């Protein structure tokens, strides 16, 4: 099961009472009925491409605290959906570095107080065609990212900050939607 917090509700969760009420309404009633782990998703970390310095965005940090505490209590991982091509569309960077950077940014942000919460990948991928103006969605970038991703999964390569980790992933955007 994946639990996603709608973006419009995230600012309200800065209030501990509102966050507690949200978890009590949307997660706790179903927790005992589930046989699998609970995954809480979030969209991004900040700043980009400096993994050892990465922290959760200040305006979301309090919202995540209650959720991360819950994940710790239930021994459940944090599920991320790394889509670095959105970021590479607006900045120069190495496509092959993008996946490692995204995962290591998350690892670094969790390391400040929640290093015991595991990270899992929900879905990731790189399209070769996208909306007009998306300059990163090209065949060469898609082949490079998806090819390196498959090698990481098949051969069990970790990342610079998680060298002993292996990952499974659902590859989304392996084929274009258009």
pTM, two decimals, is 0.65
Give residue-wise pLDDT tens across range 24-50.
888 777 665 544 343 343 444 433 444
Instruction: Give the domain ranges of the chain.
Output: 2-171
Q: CB of 52 within 8 A of CB of 108?
A: yes
Retrieve residue 94's tokens.
Answer: 């190495």
Distance of CA 74 to the CA centre of its chain: 19
Give residue-wise pLDDT tens across range 79-100.
888 888 776 654 455 676 778 8
The CA angle 82-125-63, to the nearest 5 degrees, is 20
Give residue-wise pLDDT tens across range 103-140.
888 888 888 889 999 999 988 888 888 778 777 888 88
Class (C level, CATH) for 2-171: alpha beta
């Amino acid at each position: 099961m994946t639990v996603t917090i709608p973006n419009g509700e995230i600012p309200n969760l800065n209030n501990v009472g509102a966050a507690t009420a949200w978890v009590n309404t949307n997660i706790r009633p179903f927790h005992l009925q589930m046989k699998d782990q609970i995954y809480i998703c979030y969209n991004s970390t900040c700043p980009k491409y400096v993994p050892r310095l990465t922290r959760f965005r200040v305006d979301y940090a309090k919202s995540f605290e209650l959720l991360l505490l819950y994940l710790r209590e239930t021994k459940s991982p944090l599920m991320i959906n790394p889509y670095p091509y959105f970021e590479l569309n607006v900045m120069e960077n190495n496509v092959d570095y993008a996946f490692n950077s995204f995962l290591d940014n998350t690892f670094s942000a969790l390391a400040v107080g929640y290093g015991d919460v595991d990270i899992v990948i929900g879905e990731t991928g790189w399209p070769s065609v996208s909306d007009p103006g998306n300059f990163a969605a090209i065949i060469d970038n898609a082949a490079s990212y998806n090819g390196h991703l498959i090698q990481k999964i098949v051969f069990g390569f970790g990342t610079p900050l998680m060298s002993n980790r292996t990952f499974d992933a659902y590859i989304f955007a392996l084929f274009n939607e258009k």
